[in-house]
Structure 1
Amino acid sequence: MSDHVSVHEPKALKATRTLLGSLIAIAAIAYASDLFSRIGLAIYTEQYLAVVLGTSLALVFLKPQANPARRGMDACVAVVAFIAGLYLAVQYPMLVERQLDMPPAALALSGLFFVLVLEGLRRVIGITLVIVVLAFLTFALVGHNFSGPLQTRQIDLDRLMVYVGIDTNGMLGLTLSVAATIVIGFVLFGQLLLRSGGADFFNDMALTLMGRSKGGSGKIATIASALFGSISGVVVSNIVATGVVTIRMMKQGGFKPQTAAAIETVASTGGQIMPPVMGAVAFLMAEFLQISYSEVVLAALVPAILYYASLYIQVDLEAAKEEIKKIDPALIPPKKQVFSQGWIFAIPFAGVIGALFFFNLRPETAALWGALGALIVGLVRGYNGKRMGLADIRDALAETGHSIVDIIMIGAAAGFIIGILNVTGLGFGLTYALVQLGQGNLFLLLVIAAAVCIVLGMGMPTVGVYLLLAVLVAPSLVQVGVEPIAAHLFIFYMGMMSMITPPIAIGAFFAASIAKADPIKTSFTAMRLGWTAYIIPFLFVTSPALLLIGDPMSIAVSVVSALVGVWAVSVGFVGYLGHKRKPAARLAFMIAGALFLVPLPGETELLIGARLAGLVILGLLIGFSCSAKGRLAVRTE
């Protein structure tokens, strides 16, 4: 999230924080470019992670506080955290070799980092995830006294601490590694793209493409937020970056404040699920599933299309229903000017895609190529005559470090949970218990899993949501036979919905504050606009054809049926198609849409019958509408 604060920040503190933030970004660049090996320095990945973690903790504790009396203590803790990170990096080879002997240094460092990470987590995210980690720790210590699937192996606290702190299955494991390598790379890419003029180009491109259409301001917000959100990886940052322009534009165009805020929220949230970047989660998912990045992108393509198709349809119908006026033509830049100035921004994306698909480079290295492309574009040309300067590069490096701190804390905490699950055997027991709770009923298990995902995802950044849920929930879905890619996309979608689902709905609340709208009304409007994200995951779990898995004919039929269903349900929600619809007609549209969406795997006759019934209902609704228009025209004449 954004690192801006409203309290006074002394110059020395600001300079220190800028230096530390830049250090994180520079270390990530060095790691992604294999600089250490190029200069003959062989290091463990865990040594790099220790430096990043210690520096990130220092940044957390140096964040300006509203209470100046705490600054001295926080500064001392920040120094301790930074030195501890450097010490762990230097001593790691020795400590990991003697891990089973539990040397005092390993125990002291593990305990220190456990406390520091939890306090850092509390400061950047809140108390919820801290409670989750402590609950797992407590259960790990007493779980051997239980009977049944949740019984754990007995383990002493000191051995548990060393394991989660030093072992590669703990704090320094997969979750921290992907956060400190892949995610940092794409955050840097996004920061440089933003400062090179990319965000302005996305905005102008959306404006010139949609500005002249009905409800153009809402469609501009949808496209601009989707493009920027896919790269930013943080919903709230995207809302703040684009919403200050798009929300005002929508309100001026005639959208209600809560509707304008909700459109921005849903569009920004959807940016995280839109290929090819998906807020960097596409690369993490490929790492977790041990599949190619291209497989993740292809699987995520149709659900993202359905999500944005629904939003676009509802914005279009809402604009017609409320008679929203078009954008002032004077505000729309000439299409030729926009694309002649902005075509060059294809270069950074070409760098990422080329590095991934043609050179088979690691995701963090591909992100570095994209960042280099954005840097060159910004320095050489920029957008609309505004080029990037040295101050922009400095700020991009510093903001990269500041932006990644939340995710580093979550990655380390998720590592604690993974370590506890592995060393105690609780991971298998938890999966088994969740499957038993579903009582062999896949739909019930999915509902339980969805509720857990929404609750655990509340208030966390995109990558943090996915990292946590991939560890805690996805294994139970895979265990009952759900396609692994479907299980991971399911938990990702449901975790993201915490951004618009009350009572937290942090994305909707931020947008509401910009729009000066009621937060609760905004969140419920956002739920209505983003309804597909609650439904589509259930569909692609039971119908993998929506993930482009299966024969071409089944895929084509499933996709077309889903698009028709999304259109019909969206019409029902808005209550407008040519004219305002009465409640009975709205319900009929929703029923028809549901008949197109409902999956009935293995039941071909029922499936065909449901689709035909939906087609008949839609035909009758449209026929009655045309007949009514004809009668009205005759009367008018």
Structure 2
Amino acid sequence: MQSRSGTTTAMSVQAGIEMEAPTRGVVGVASTVLGAAIALAGIAWGANLFTLVGWNFLAEQFLAVVLGLAMALVYIVRPFRRTALPRTSVPWYDWVLAATSLGIGLYMGWSYPRMLGEFFNSPWHVVVVTWLLFLLVVEGLRRASGWSLVIVVLAFFFYALVGHMVGGDLQTRDVKINDMVVYLGLDTSGLFGLVLLIGVTVVIPFVFFGQLLSASGGASFFNDVSLALMGRFRGGAAKISIMASSLFGSINGIVVSNILATGVITIPMMKKSGFEPEHAAAVEASASNGGQLMPPVMGAVAFLMADFLQISYTEVAIAAAVPSLLYYLSLFIQADLEAAKGNILRVPAKEIPNLVKVFAKGWLFLLPFAVLVYALFWQNREPENAAIFACTAVVVIGFLFGYRVQRLTPRAVWDCLVRTGVSSADIIMISAAAGFIMGILQITGLGFALTVFLVNVGAGNIFLLLLIAAVLCIVLGMGMPTLGVYVLLAVLIVPALVEVGVTPMAAHMFILYLGMMSFVTPPVAIAAFFAANLAKANPMKTGWVAMRFSWTAYIVPFLFVFSPSLLLQSGSWFDTALSITTAAIGVWFVSAGMIGYGLCRMGLALRTASIIGGALLLVPLEMASWSTIANIVGCVLAAAVLLFEIAGRRGERALTREVAAE
């Protein structure tokens, strides 16, 4: 039987690598076999095949073997120097590291129960194995995702050794270095804990789902749907980008992969329509970044959040619905108004496919999503099981029908398995690093110490603490992959927010949103920089424009902390509908003020009034005693702006007629 030790059940979904290290390609038979083995292991777990054949083992034994496979693959496909050019051969030292990694993984998979029994005595062989495991994971992490997360892990590791000498709130327990390494390598609060369990057992089936969808033509179908639906509207090219990225990103949950998948089509289309390169790249970066916040699938962190909160994924998806809709509403509004202000061309009619024909050719690709949603929300199946059902549906549809000229073949499925394994290896390394961080916080008591410290710094003032937390979320998230960002913030920031009265759901959603904004916030705006590279745009300028496009994601987290109705967590349906309506109107007026165009061009005074009026409409009614007054003043300002705009639009039309008459 597949045994899951620990207190939580693994519920997660695919995660992704936000920074793609240079690769040598899938080099030779070894890397191909390792990639397929990783994918098949995760799929077998999701399909409960181990239970069906009667294999009895602990989850930790399974994780140790898969971790060994992942480390070996990383050392084969990731070069020692991240700036190195792709190569077609593997140097001898990487073969040694790969063989050692695989050997340790297999050894721990076989010996884990015995090693766990020797945990408190820590004989020399246990110390040696866990030290080797720690060092191999850290170096593999550096190759997979760069220095940022490695520095975080090593900083926590170092502080754990000296923290007992620090006075005040940040003092920790005295822990010997070997004891800590053994704890991190064996305890379920460390390496083989919840995050790695999620990274292996559920992420892999969902990554495989995305790979199958792309290979069978499903991704092309959704791009064509976006083009057919949005192409005829003002700013259609940008709206196509937003819609396609939200659809693909919700499945994919990988910011950079989403940009590379959709941006190669949408960015040139936006530039051709008349958008500046920086604006085209910023739209794509902002839309792709929001995909991991968009139900029904979202990214891996949504399922990890469900485990942290001990609730169903359905509750997380429901809570995420309104904030994500406000985010994409803002993007659509800004794309529309930016196009109106700049007289951006519409997508040429000849390039827009017929919607009926698109659906006639590809409507079957909606069925895998129906299967996924039904299994997740109605049958309450674990996400990995739901993903396997969805994969099965894609395989059947892809083999029998496909889309346009694309159709699945046995070779294509094999390639999907290998690519899934290669992508998942990086995810597994990040999950392992997150496990180290959680283990260090647990064994040293640093997590509790940080909570006390943040609460004291905030002086019990919830708004001040939220501001501090927001800055920490963005700064700590810079340069880090999604899964690492969320786990780090969940153990550092959330306890302090809950301590001052923020609901657990709002606290987790708060750090998720602000943490994700690090991907479009200069100076380390990874998503914006990737998109800028595709658009041949200025990276830093793209980052600032993307930050402006994403403004709602910086503000909305503060709103739902004070207004749980925006998370559909409390209040009557009338109060909830009122909060959503005023927030949506506020989003329009703030967006118009920032662009400088509503119904017509705005001067500085009108832009200022529009932003202030919209901001006041965003104030939740539950926030304070003055919230109702703020909303009323916001309505008055918004109405005044609207009247001035109507008058201004009439004036512009009259001037246009006069010019035409002349």
Query: For this structure pair, what is the TM-score category when the shorter chain's length is used for normalisation?
Result: over 0.9
Note the residue ranges of structure 2 that are not aligned, 5 or more in a row: 1-16
Shift of 1:568: 0.4
**Alpha-carbon displacement from aligned partner over 1:532-586 (angstroms, at most 9, x marks no partner):** 0111011111111110122222211111111011000000011012321111111
The worse-fitting range, judged by mean Cα deviation, of 376-385 and 562-571 is: 376-385
Q: Secondary structure at the match of 1:62?
A: helix
Corresponding residue of 1:580: 601
The answer to whether structure 1 residue 33 and structure 2 residue 47 are counterparts is yes
Which of the numbers 48, 55, 72 marks the counterpart of 2:69?
Answer: 55
- What is the DSSP-based 3-state SS (H/G/I as helix, E as strand, rest coil) of the residue aligned with 1:502? coil
Deviates more, 1:153-162 or 1:260-269: 153-162
Which residue does the alignment assign to 2:12? none
Describe the superposition over 1:71-109 as per-residue Cα deviations: whole angstroms up to 9, x where unpaired: 211111011001111111010111112211213232112
With 589-598 and 418-427 compared, the bigger mean Cα shift is at 418-427
User: What secondary structure sits across from 2:202 in the alignment?
Assistant: helix
- Give the C-alpha shift of residue 140 in structure 1: 1.6
Aligned to 1:462: 482
Deviation at 1:353, TM superposition (A): 1.8
Alignment size in residue pairs: 634
Alpha-carbon deviation of 1:14? 3.2
Distance 1:94 1:422, change over 3 A: same
1:409 counterpart residue number = 429
- Maintained 8 Å contact 1:182/1:283: no
Within 5 Å, give how 1:611-630 maps onto structure 2: 611-630=631-650
What's the CA shift string for 1:212-233, capped at 9, x where partnerless? 1111111000000110011112
Deviation at 1:2?
8.6
2:376, 2:382 within 8 Å by CA — same for their partners in 1? yes
* 1:408-557 matched pairs, under 5 angstroms: 408-551=428-571, 552-557=573-578
Residue 570 of structure 1: aligned partner: 591
Which ranges of structure 1 fall in alignment gaps of 5 or more residues?
Answer: none
Which digits, 9 at most, give the CA deviation of each residue in 1:365-411, with x for residues without a partner? 11111111111111111112421112211111111111122221121
Greater shift, 439-448 or 23-32, is seen at 439-448
Relative to structure 1, the CA distance from residue 381 to residue 84 in structure 2 (aligned partners, 3 Å threshold; closer, same or farther) is: same
Q: 1:609 matched to which residue of 2? A: 629
More displaced 10-residue stretch of structure 1: 451-460 or 192-201: 451-460
Most deviating of 346-355 and 159-168: 346-355
Q: 2:37 aligns with which of 19, 23, 42?
A: 23
When residues 528 and 600 of structure 1 are mapped into structure 2, their CA distance, relative to the original with a 3 A threshold, is same
CA distance in 2, matches of 1:632, 1:263: 28
TM-score by length of structure 1 reads: 0.96
Contact 1:505/1:523 (8 A) holds in 2: yes
Q: CA deviation at 1:162?
A: 0.8
Does the CA-based 8 Å contact 2:520-2:527 persist in structure 1?
yes
Q: How far has the Cα of 1:293 moved from its partner?
A: 1.2
1:167 aligned to which of 179, 187, 192 = 187
Partner of 1:188: 208
SS at match of 2:77: coil
Corresponding residue for 1:368?
388
Please report how far the alpha carbon of residue 416 of structure 1 lies from its aligned counterpart in structure 2 after TM superposition. Answer: 1.1
Paired AA for residue 555 in structure 1: T
Q: Counterpart in 2 of 1:303?
A: 323
Whether the 8 Å contact between 1:233 and 1:463 is mirrored in structure 2 is no
1:186–1:280 Cα contact (<8 Å) kept: no
Displacement of 1:625: 2.5
Q: Which residue of 2 aligns with 1:259?
A: 279
Q: Which amino acid counterpart does residue 22 of structure 1 have in structure 2?
A: A
Query: Closer, same or farther in 2 for the Cα pair 1:619/1:320, shift >3 Å?
Result: same
Distance 2:529 2:653 in 1: 45
Whole-Å Cα distance in 2 between the matches of residues 464 and 602 of structure 1? Answer: 32
Contact 2:473–2:511 (Cα < 8 Å) also in 1 = yes
Q: What are the Cα deviations for residues 241-275 of structure 1, in whole angstroms up to 9, with x where unaligned?
A: 11000000111111110000000000100101000
CA distance in 1: counterparts of 2:578 and 2:19, whole angstroms: 47
Q: What amino acid maps onto 1:457 in structure 2?
A: G
**Which of 582, 586, 590 is the aligned partner of 2:611?**
590
Between stretches 505-514 and 352-361, larger displacement belongs to 352-361
The residue type paired with residue 590 of structure 1 is I
State the SS of the aligned residue for 2:167: coil
Q: CA RMSD in A?
A: 1.9
The letter for the 2-side match of 1:334 is N
Q: Residues 169-211 of structure 1, C-alpha deviation per residue, up to 9 Å, x if partnerless? A: 1101111111111211211111111111111011000010011
The reply on whether 1:285 has 2:305 as its aligned counterpart is: yes
Is 2:24–2:77's contact at 8 Å kept on the other side of the alignment? no
Q: 1:380 aligns with which of 385, 400, 404?
A: 400
Cα pair 1:431 1:475 within 8 Å, conserved:
yes
Q: 1: distance between equivalents of 2:480 and 2:208?
A: 20
CA contact (8 A) 2:19 2:256 kept: no
Instruction: Give the stretch that moved more between structures: 174-183 or 403-412.
Output: 403-412
Residues 1:334 and 2:348 are matched in the alignment: no
Change beyond 3 A, Cα 1:284–1:7: closer
Aligned residues of 1:62 and 1:74 also touching (Cα < 8 A): yes
**Percentage of identical aligned residues:** 51
- Residues 311, 32 of structure 1: alpha-carbon distance in 2 compared, 3 angstrom cutoff: same
1:509 deviation in Å?
Answer: 0.5
In structure 2, the residue matched to 1:122 is: 142
Query: For 2:252, which of 232, 236, 240 is the aligned residue?
Result: 232
Q: Distance in 1 between matches of 2:499 and 2:379?
A: 35
- Distance in 2, Cα, partners of 1:311 & 1:222: 7
581-590 vs 378-387, which deviates more? 378-387
Q: Is the Cα contact below 8 Å between 2:189 and 2:435 reproduced in 1?
A: yes
Amino acid in structure 2 at the alignment position of 1:507: A
Q: Alignment partner for residue 202 of structure 1, among 211, 222, 239? A: 222
Q: Where does residue 346 of structure 1 map in the other structure?
A: 366
Q: Which moved more, 1:467-476 or 1:437-446?
A: 467-476
Q: Which moved more, 1:453-462 or 1:89-98?
A: 453-462
CA drift at 1:602: 5.6
SS at match of 1:149: helix
Q: Secondary structure at the match of 1:503?
A: coil
Q: CA deviation at 1:633?
A: 5.7
Is 1:561 the counterpart of 2:575 in the alignment? no
Where 2:299 maps in the other structure, the secondary structure is helix
CA contact (8 A) 1:406 1:461 kept: no
Q: How far does residue 517 in structure 1 lie from its aligned partner after superposition?
A: 0.4
Q: CA shift at 1:7, angstroms?
A: 7.2
Q: Secondary structure at the match of 1:272?
A: helix
Q: Decide whether aligned partners of structure 1 residues 45 and 528 sit closer, same or farther in structure 2, where only a CA change above 3 A counts.
A: same
Deviation at 1:609, TM superposition (A): 1.3
Confirm or deny: 8 A CA contact 2:599 2:649 kept in the other structure: no
Amino acid at match of 1:560: T
User: 1:191 is aligned with what amino acid?
Assistant: Q
2:133: which partner in 1? 113
Does 341-350 or 264-273 show the bigger shift? 341-350
Q: CA deviation at 1:471?
A: 2.2
> Using the alignment, how far apart are the partners of 2:123 and 2:384 within structure 1?
34
Q: CA deviation at 1:445?
A: 1.2
TM-score by length of 2: 0.93
Is the Cα–Cα contact under 8 Å of residues 3 and 403 in structure 1 kept in the other structure? no
- The answer to whether structure 1 residue 14 and structure 2 residue 35 are counterparts is no
SS in 1 for 2:270: helix
- Look up the equivalent residue of 2:448 and give its one-letter code: F
Query: Match of 2:236?
Result: 216
Q: Deviations over 1:304-326 (max 9, x none)?
A: 00000000000000111111111
Displacement of 1:630: 4.2
Q: Summarize the Cα distance change of 1:465–1:185 in structure 2 as closer, same or farther, 3 Å threshold.
A: farther
Separation in structure 2 between the aligned mates of residue 345 and residue 460 of structure 1, nearest angstrom: 33
